[in-house]
Structure 1
Amino acid sequence: MDKTKALEDLVEVINLDAIQHLPKPTEHFISDLHGEYDAFEHILRNGSGRIREKVDYLFKRQLRSEEISELCFIIYYPEEVLSESDYDEQQWFVLMERLVKVARFSAGKYTRSKVRKALPQDFAYIIEELLYQYDQEYEKEWYYGSIFNKIIELDLAQKFCEILGHLIQRLVVDHLHVLGDIYDRGPAPDKIMDSLMTLPSLDIQLGNHDILWIGAFCGSLGCLTNLLRISARYGNLELLEKYGIDLAPLKKFAKKNYQENAAFAPKIEAGELSAEDCKDAMRLQQALAIMQFKVEGTIINRRPEFQLDERLLLDKLTKDQTELNYFGTKIPLINGCFQLVGQDAYQLTDEEKIVLTGLLQDFQNSERLQKHIAFLVEKGTLYLRYNGNLLFHGCLPCDQQGEFLSYQFGGQTYQGVELLDFYLESIRTSFKNPQEHEDLATDIIWYLWCGAGSTLFGKKAMKTFERYFIADKKLHTEEKNAYYQLREKAAFCETILRAFDLSENGHIINGHTPVKVVKGDIPIKADGRLLVIDGGLSKPYQKVTGIAGYTLVANSFGMTLVAHQPFTNRQEAIKNRQDILSQKEIVVRKNQRLYVKDTDIGQELARQIDKLLG
């Protein structure tokens, strides 16, 4: 063997073994963002409280509580907070010392090489010197002070502190898990996508609302009409226009064919939209609901294996369109707007076809939307095994006994893990050929939105029609899959973990279903085997949850669930130095600290070491 090569291998073994003995990096879990960019960005910036914990640990004996809050907000929002400051030279010096101390503490669990990669190009060499050269016993204080003084002298103190703030944010959390539903309801999912695309390490488990946007881009008219209707329902039409979607033809069509109807008023706070925009939203919802039911009926008839015949309701209208033959019973209808439903109930009118064709073209021609959807498909999965835990957005369809239900598509039968794999393959197949609109893969994406076998929907049927047009609220109820009752039991969760080749000591982490804290619901289920982290980050959900979202932090000491208070906006948070942490609950406390060797990455490093020594 070549001696030089052998020495290189042995040096690499030493490097890899050293990495194995570093503390396990911090993972950050968040779910159901629903376009709430300001709240998401704040949680990301404060690391679900990890930055505050580190600052408290380092300075609790030196600084008052308000001074600690001020230092935290300088780290969270360095540009905004420091632009308001009027520091003298001594104050800048002290601030830089403190920020370097926090940065050094945060960098302690990483290799020097990894920290170097995280450093911004500006000041990279200086920051590295400050992080690794400090040693009072060998008179490095003077060396440190000379660097700080020169930065101040050159009027670069504010810039330097801003860079340190962002560096600390990046170092505090090593990896982000997003458990779905970036889109819909809130105003700025596009800004969330822009932010996610800048992160160095993350994964995404796709949610049902993300699927809707992917499906619309891939050419599913069922997804497109649902997406547009929901945008009108929650007053988010501006988002579509930011993506370059021309809504003028749709608005003109809706104004021509539909009247104002308070039952279709957008679900927003008073004053958030102008009176004219509210009227537009009313008419658009009606137009889009009818087009949705038509194109969905076409899909259902085209795909009998979906077993959704019970959702074919337009053709059950009575001749005068005032009643519905609902499973053998005539039921009166309210809020009727069926004037464009003809003898062939699921046939689009020529005008409807023109409008939908134009909208679909806009979706597929939007460069920004294409970039976001491509990122979702590239990073997105339907489940993830990570460090012994199982992450997915919704559920695994099963019967009351906990047996995975099987479904047949394209002549093949799938259940459990194989079902999820088939769904993901369909998403990626459809994305590769968005011009094909009626293929099975594209129809599967729509099925993931509303089908009984969808791991993202998790209910027997979606009752959009009933909620709009039938007064009896008992008929609005959407029956959940048995998974949502069984997940309270540890034995069932252990069965699922085994099905994914994971240890029974792992955890299942879900989003999708808001935890209704005000009604006594709890996020920790099955003796801690399963955690639900959808606590209502989306403002429309906060009335029923009572909080404003859960996040989960997993570090070398265990797992902590963090509940958040409602977030007003970025400006108010900065002005009042108002964080949104309300409560922390330790889910798992490790008796022994975890190290890189205890993670998936550690196992891969061990394989590399064996290969080098082999």
Structure 2
Amino acid sequence: MIDERYLKLLAKDYPNAQAAASEIINLRAILSLPKGTEYFFSDLHGEQQAFLYQLKSASGVVRKKIDELFEQSMSEGERTALAKLIYYPETEYPKKRKQEQDFDDWCRITIYRLVEVCREAASKYTRSKVRKKLPESFAYIIDELLHADCSNKPHYHSEIIRSIVATRMSEEFITALCHLIQQLLIDKLHIIGDIYDRGPRADAIMDALINCHDVDIQWGNHDISWMGAAAGNWACIANVIRLGISYNTFDLLEDGYGINLRPLSVFAEQTYRDDPCEVFIPHILDENQYDPVDIPLAAKMHKAMAIIQFKVEGQLIKKHPEYGMDDRILLDKIDFKKGTIKLDGKEYPLRDNLFPTVDPNNPLELTKAETELMKTITASFCHSERLHKHIRFLYSHGSMYLRINGNLLYHGCIPLTEDGRLDVIKSFGTNHSGREYLEFLDGVARNAYFAPCGSAEKENAKDMMWYLWCGAKSPLFGKEKLSTFERYFIEDKETHYEKMNPYYTHIEHRSACEMILREFGLDPETSHIINGHVPVKAGENPVKGDGLLFMIDGGISKAYQSQTGIGGYTFIFNSRYLALAEHKPLKTGCCVEENSPKVMVVEAIKKRVTVADTDNGADLSRQIEELDALLQAYRSGTIKEK
């Protein structure tokens, strides 16, 4: 029984029986429409060019629509050119202006074709929903072109297009149509974590996500590290700076977020003047456009920040013995006279044994200069408006996990024991496991940023952000240790090994995936897990658990492409099938076909999925029930109509 007080509130929006009935009719019609297409991306790692290409092309769906519409009327080259225009109208339109002899004619024909593609892309939606996506300046014109009856109004239709060209508005109009097509082909966008680190411009990816109409993010450990840095955690700040220098992403740090690295460069030059820092030479996967840095100086900056990071991490571990990470305090295990380190009872020579800022008697203590440097860098993080705009978006649109339309989305793992049971983890004095553990950590992450400054709640949560980055029981990390120190200083690769959580063995079997789905309240017969974090190596199957789990970190990051052999995966869920789009490493300046993905249907859906079958459909059904109760109240006279 719906409360009468609620019905009176509802009556303010629907003041009479006719209004309530009209909305019921509208909602029931929407329920019968095919569900929109959902796209799932993971582990973008700052690769803005590759991600934006995949987003603009709808992972190959734009080209597929063009082929379906125009295969008989357009050549292969013309279809390719139209696809490229839709992806990059701002750059392709000016090229066509120079290339086409009768440019006005090209504009008229192109607008006709774009309207056809747009009409096809909009066919799943109500006219009302499409109108909400229309660019304000051309909303009326586009609406008319999409819904005009060409057989009865051919001259009307043609005159609109002729007038657009004649008034020299074709560039703006074509650009608007291209952007509308991109939006219509992606109904929902899911990012399964790790937007940040390694690639050149994570900030550009964040700008693109903010402009998307329906997006959610499941945090990855690299995202959490940046969130911790924005909250002021020194270990996280040192980590994101170290990684930024390691992968030569100075443009992101300085141009993107205004982080002042000048004090670090001065400190590093003075402190490591006679140290070649060969172990710390950055990976040059991308060149900086705005902030080219001398490589030898970058190596010194890299080492300086790495040593600071190992110190502040050690301090955090000592502060929180409950983390159980004493074995990761490594500076105090160095024999500085011999230039060796003792790990697990075995002694290893160090690749680099110059430690001018480390006091052997107190190896975790920051020097006065290091402390002042961290205060200065922290101030940059605290005062970066653009960084905090992006971090707030990660919080407002993000979470540790998401259940949506029968799918379970998370970045790393659900910690399991060796025998496949949910691992029980003690944190903040209480035990947690499975779904409840992720929900608990979601709250911790929010407290790190939003709890009152200076409160114990905020300080403990802020410290925990570093644990979520690399702790053994962190579901976002999912490994026994992070061997950053060993990779820098020890040649023996056995010390580099990072043992994975048992989760990664168990998900090969259907029973483990079924258990996880049930833990999150989902039916294994109709649900799936979409997972990121661990790159799927070349030759490895991304489909796990007899089709219940899809591991979609396929190497969009250049740093992983030598392992994966491809340029990443997109998971696609539309009304007819589930599919994996396998992308090639992006080649800029080549034809569209060379970058087109291989799309593999992994599960065909027997009965076409409608809006009624989705989470939104369940919400609409509840609205219909409420409106129906209001309608009955009007008809019985319980509530007075206006």
What aligned pairs does 1:293-442 form with structure 2 within 5 A after superposition? 293-320=310-337, 322-342=339-359, 343-433=361-451, 435-436=453-454, 439-442=459-462
CA distance in 2, matches of 1:333, 1:79: 52
Structure 2 CA distance for aligned equivalents of residues 234 and 254 of structure 1? 17
Report matched runs for 1:384-533 at 5 Å. Answer: 384-433=402-451, 435-436=453-454, 439-504=459-524, 505-517=526-538, 520-533=539-552
The count of corresponding residues between Structure 1 and Structure 2 is 606
- Matching residue of 2:153: 140
Paired residue for 1:265, among 269, 281, 288? 281
> 1:371 & 1:159 partners in 2: Cα distance?
29
From 540, 552, 564, the equivalent of 2:559 is 540
Letter in 2 for 1:314: L
* Pairwise CA distance, 1:390: 0.4
Matches within 5 A, 1:522-601: 522-569=541-588, 572-573=589-590, 576-578=591-593, 580-601=595-616
CA contact (8 A) 2:39 2:570 kept: yes
- For 2:307, the aligned partner's letter is I
Matched ranges for 1:143-162 at <5 A: 143-162=156-175
Question: Does structure 1 retain, via aligned residues, the 8 Å contact 2:424–2:433?
Answer: yes
Letter of the structure 1 residue corresponding to residue 53 of structure 2: H
Asked if the contact 2:242–2:302 (Cα under 8 Å) also holds between the matched residues in 1, the reply is yes
**1:285 CA drift (Å):** 1.8
Query: Deviation of residue 433 (structure 1)?
Result: 4.5
What is the TM-score normalised by the length of structure 2? 0.91
Matched letter for residue 49 of structure 1: G
**Using the alignment, how far apart are the partners of 2:84 and 2:45 within structure 1?**
25
CA contact (8 A) 2:118 2:177 kept: yes
What is the identity, as a one-letter code, of the residue corresponding to 2:236? C
Deviation string 1:31-67 (CA, Å, 9 cap, x unpaired) is 1111111111111100001111111111111112111
CA 1:353–1:467 in 2, change beyond 3 Å: closer, same or farther? same
Instruction: Tell me if structure 2 keeps the 8 A contact 1:213–1:227.
Output: yes
Mapped pair 1:224 → 2:245: no
Q: Counterpart of 2:308?
A: 291
2:408, 2:431 → 1: CA distance?
23
Whole-angstrom CA distance in 1 between matches of 2:293 and 2:523: 57
Whether the aligned pair in 2 keeps the contact of 1:219 and 1:435 (CA below 8 Å) is no
SS in 2 for 1:384: strand
Deviations 1:321-355 (A, max 9, x none): 61222223332222123232211121111111000
Displacement, 1:435?
A: 5.0
The match for 1:115 among 117, 130, 137 is: 130
Instruction: Return 430-439 or 555-564, whichever deviates more.
Output: 430-439
**Number of the residue aligned with 1:54:** 65
Indicate conservation of the 8 Å contact 1:27/1:555, yes or no.
Answer: yes
Residue-by-residue CA offset, 1:355-405 (whole Å, 9 max, x unaligned) = 001101110111111111111111111100010000001101111221111
Q: Which residue of 1 aligns with 2:32?
A: 21
Q: Is the 8 A contact 2:200 2:286 kept in 1?
A: no
Shift of 1:475: 0.9
Q: 1:459 to 1:218 in 2, by over 3 A?
A: same
Quote the residue 2:4 is aligned against.
none
| Higher mean C-alpha displacement, 334-343 vs 174-183 | 334-343
Task: Give ranges in structure 2 of 5+ residues lacking alignment.
Answer: 1-7, 630-642
* Shift, 1:126, TM fit: 1.0
State whether structure 2 residue 299 is matched by structure 1 residue 282: yes
Q: 1:386-430 CA deviation, whole Å, 9 max, x = no partner?
A: 100000011011112211111112211111111111111111111
* Distance change >3 Å, CA 222–CA 276, structure 1 → 2: closer
Residues 562 and 581 of structure 1 are in contact (CA less than 8 Å); yes or no, is this contact kept in structure 2?
no
2:217 equivalent in structure 1: 204
**Cα distance in 1, alignment partners of residues 336 and 167 from structure 2:** 81
CA distance in 1, matches of 2:134, 2:627: 30
Is the Cα–Cα contact under 8 Å of residues 460 and 481 in structure 1 kept in the other structure? yes
Shift of 1:610: 1.4
1:66 pairs with one of 53, 67, 77? 77
Q: Do residues 186 (structure 1) and 199 (structure 2) align?
A: yes
Q: Deviations over 1:292-333 (max 9, x none)?
A: 111111111111111001111111222516122222333222
Q: Is the 8 A contact 2:247 2:285 kept in 1?
A: no
Shift of 1:229: 0.9
Q: Name 1:128's counterpart in structure 2.
A: 143
**Structure 2 Cα separation of the partners of residues 276 and 177 of structure 1:** 35
User: Residues 344 and 434 (structure 1 numbering): CA distance in 2 closer, same or farther, change over 3 Å?
Assistant: farther
Question: 1:4–1:295: structure 2 CA closer, same or farther, 3 Å change rule?
Answer: closer
The residue type paired with residue 567 of structure 1 is L
Distance 2:129 2:292 in 1: 53
TM-score (norm 1): 0.95
Distance 1:110 1:270 in 2: 40
> In structure 1, what residue type is equivalent to 2:565?
G
Aligned equivalents of 2:537, 2:355: Cα separation in 1: 36
* Distance in 2, Cα, partners of 1:398 & 1:539: 30
TM-superposed deviation, 1:159 = 2.3
- Which of the numbers 244, 250, 254 marks the counterpart of 1:237? 250
Identity %: 43
Letter in 2 for 1:581: S
Change (3 A) 1:11 1:272: closer
Instruction: Note if contact 1:390-1:507 (Cα within 8 Å) is conserved in structure 2.
Output: yes
Q: Distance in 2 between matches of 1:88 and 1:317?
A: 71
Q: Retained in 2: the 8 A contact 1:399–1:482? A: yes
- Does 1:250 find its partner at 2:271? no
Q: CA deviation at 1:134?
A: 2.0
1:491-548 deviation line (CA, Å, top 9, x unaligned): 110110000001102110011111112xx21111112111011111111111111001
Question: How many Å apart are 1:208 and its aligned residue?
Answer: 0.9
2:48 corresponds to which residue?
37
Secondary structure at 1:334's aligned position in 2? coil
CA apart distance, 1:476? 0.7
Amino acid in structure 2 at the alignment position of 1:527: D
Q: Which amino acid aligns with 2:105?
A: Q
**What code does the residue aligned with 1:97 have?**
Y
Query: Which of 176, 183, 198 lines up with 1:163 in the alignment?
Result: 176
1:213 and 1:565 map into 2 onto residues whose CA distance is: 28
Task: After superposing the two structures, state which structure 1 stretch, 326-335 or 283-292, moved more.
Answer: 326-335
Gaps of 5+ in 1: none
Instruction: Give the match for residue 106 of structure 2.
Output: 91
Alpha-carbon distance in structure 2 between the residues aligned to 1:465 and 1:439: 26
Tell me the distance in 2 between the aligned counterparts of 1:109 and 1:58: 16
Task: Name the CA distance, whole Å, in 2 between partners of 1:578 and 1:251.
Answer: 44
